[in-house]
Chain A
Amino acid sequence: MTVLLAFDLLLAASIVGLAAATLLMRDAFAMIVAFIVFGMLMALGWARLVAPDVALAEVAIGAGLSGALLLRTLAHLRGGSLSAQGGASVSAPANGATQGVNALLAGLATCALGLAYLGAPQNVPGLEAHVADAMPESGVTHPVTAVLLNFRAYDTLMEVVVLLAAVIVVWQVERGLAETPAPALGTVYQGFARVALPVAVIAGGYLLWIGAEAPGGAFQAGAVLGAVAVLGLLSRHVRPAPAHRPLARGAFVVGTAVFALVALGVAGAGRVAFEYPPAQAKTLILLIEAMVTISIAATLAALFHGRAPVAVSREETDR
């Protein structure tokens, strides 16, 4: 018990320390690496709080893919390399007085929130009893999946729409932007990618399937498959070309479309939208999850790649 308490205290201190380090690191590359490590440790903390689904999502999306996105942009700002001697130097800090006032106000707000948190009643029952009561009708046996895909499916649909909106915005914003060479992996990592890709594909499929009864599900699976696509882009196994655009658009939309169609399709005969008939609930949830997984994976990979694929000149393709 005391060992675990010590571990919790140490982990919590490391998380806060890494958050501070993220803000204090001078070099942007070091800052992003600190942020990724922060995400990993935070996920470990969530695993300690018996939230394995959230921990998986954080490791795969919050730390992994966000980190990859940040590093990709840093490479762009530094003209294709990640070392500090490119353009994009860290600008001068804002003036001292403003910083002091900011720190004071942020500190006050945090203290107020801390008092509110400590003063709030602890261990009062939340919604878990309602969830447990409704579980037999949900079609799955894992509560988090039941909440995500059944009880609060509307939220989840909106979340898939947010991803869709993000990729549309990124493609529009990046239109006509000068192409920077995407970073490529060295020979050693090429070998690693060959070993890791098939394993990751299987892991993604497994996460999707197991989500019905154990931690896992569409988001974690989509993130793992998205990472597969990112690795494919980095190892130049996947080269986006204009011909891929219709396919990519289809993949972005399929999750939202199938989700919305199923949600509306089950309405009628005394049922409202999103109220799956219990007998078919598991099949419908798996169908939605599979399609959402495809959308998430494609969208995250596209967000990493940045602009819509355009025709590249011959010598660029050969590189």
Chain B
Amino acid sequence: MTEATIYGLAGLAVFGLGLMGVLGAADRLRRLVALNLCAGGAAMVLVASSWRPPPAAPDPVPHALVITGIVVMVSATAVALALIRRLYSLETDTDA
């Protein structure tokens, strides 16, 4: 059992949990965190699949893709959070 197998399967499990959260969570904030879990799990599978047994260096291309993915995910998170704040203020306005 290599590092790639262990972390690859862990990444898949995280992705699955995130998927479940995205589909099932009632709270908006939790759904967004679950989406982040999905992204993390997918990134972990990519990083695990670029791993090579020790003397060889890992494949740098998936690493660059994952770094790009992390930055894109934080942008998406920020936009989603702005929408959540906006929705919340709209809802509290109508309640008042």
Contacts and interface: CB of A to CB of B under 8 A. Distances in A.
A57 interface: yes
A49 B75 CA distance: 26
A219 B7 contact: no
Contacts of B15: 110, 113
A152 interface: yes
Give the interface SS of chain A, mostly helix, strand, loop or mixed.
Answer: helix
A144 B63 contact: yes
B41 A70 contact: no
Q: Which of the listed residues A13, A69, A178 has the most CB atoms from chain B within 10 Å of its own CB?
A: A69
B35 to A, nearest CB: 11
A144 B58 CA distance: 10
Interface string B50-61: 111100111111
A164 to B, nearest CB: 9
Interface string A33-46: 00100110010011
A166 interface: yes
A127 B48 contact: no
Interface stretch (A114-122, A190-198, A231-239): A114-122
A167 B56 CA distance: 40
B14 A51 contact: no
Nearest to A72: B81
Instruction: For chain A, give the interface size range.
Output: 35 or more
B7 A12 contact: yes
A87 to B, nearest CB: 7
A66 interface: yes
Interface string A1-17: 00001001100110110
A19 interface: yes
A204 interface: no
A45 B7 contact: yes
Contacts of A296: 71
B13 A159 contact: no
Given A22-B33, A22-B37, A65-B74, A106 B62 contact: no
A51 B50 contact: yes
B64 to A, nearest CB: 4
B72 to A, nearest CB: 5
Contacts of A169: 79, 82
Interface string B80-91: 011111101100
B79 to A, nearest CB: 5
B44 A152 contact: no
Interface of A: 5, 8-9, 12-13, 15-16, 19-20, 22-23, 28, 31-32, 35, 38-39, 42, 45-46, 48-51, 53-54, 57-58, 61-62, 65-66, 69-70, 72-74, 76-77, 87-88, 90-94, 98-99, 102-103, 105-107, 109-110, 113-114, 117-118, 120, 122-123, 126-128, 131, 143-144, 146-148, 152, 155-156, 159, 162-163, 165-167, 169-170, 173-174, 177-178, 219, 296, 300, 303, 306
Closest 7 CB pairs of A and B: A110-B16, A166-B75, A12-B10, A143-B60, A126-B59, A303-B78, A147-B64
Given A147-B60, A152-B61, 14 more contacts: A15-B44, A38-B37, A49-B51, A50-B58, A53-B67, A61-B71, A65-B74, A76-B85, A77-B85, A102-B23, A122-B4, A123-B52, A177-B86, A219-B71
12 contacts: A38-B40, A49-B7, A58-B43, A62-B73, A69-B77, A70-B29, A93-B24, A128-B57, A131-B59, A144-B67, A177-B89, A178-B89
